[in-house]
Structure 1
Amino acid sequence: MSNPTVEAAINSIYDSLRADNEDLDLRIAALKAALTEAGLKEAVFDPSKLVQNNRSGRKLMQAYFRQRGVTVTFSA
């Protein structure tokens, strides 16, 4: 089975966040693999699609993903 594209992996993370973080670690691992395959260093998320779109929510998300080896940035 091939790894999902970066965009598909990010969309699955949005779904996981809306579903109370269900299977989030598995989806982060898939995102990490997709980023590596695409040769990218960071994942860009749209803050308007986040459940907790405030500064503390974004910082918590960045810290959680960083612990799992994925750098997160947010689009403007």
Structure 2
Amino acid sequence: MSDITVSAAIDAIYASIKNDNEDIDLHIAALKAAMAREGVKQATFETAKLAQPNRQGRKLMQAYFKKKGVAVDFA
């Protein structure tokens, strides 16, 4: 896995969401590693860029990322 920044990892997750969650687990792992390197505690996503920007979609995303060890917030 390459050393990418948190913002690059988040952008890769947005792209994965647009491609029907293709390789989402790999991108989450890259985000988790980037967050550890940069000392970030929580990843912030823009609601408008999500496939389901409603409350149910956000809660589903939070729950899935929490299982993978990543805390998620929305802007």
Shorter chain as normaliser: what TM range? over 0.9
Which sections of structure 1, spanning at least 5 residues, go unmatched?
A: none
2:44 maps to 44
CA apart distance, 1:3: 1.4
In 1, Cα distance between the equivalents of 2:51 and 2:2? 29
Which sections of structure 2, spanning at least 5 residues, go unmatched?
A: none
How many residues get paired?
75
In 2, Cα distance between the equivalents of 1:54 and 1:45? 13
Instruction: Output one character per residue of 1:10-51: Cα deviation in whole Å (capped at 9) or x when no partner.
Output: 000000000000000000000000000000111000000101
Which stretches of structure 1, 4 residues or more, deviate above 3 A after TM superposition?
A: none
CA apart distance, 1:2: 3.8
Report SS of the residue matched to 1:40.
coil
2:25 maps to 25
Give the root-mean-square deviation of aligned CA atoms.
0.9
CA apart distance, 1:4: 0.7
Q: Which amino acid aligns with 1:10?
A: I
2:13 maps to 13
User: Percent of counterpart pairs with the same letter?
Assistant: 60
2:60 maps to 60
* TM-score normalised by length of structure 2: 0.97
* TM-score normalised by length of structure 1: 0.96
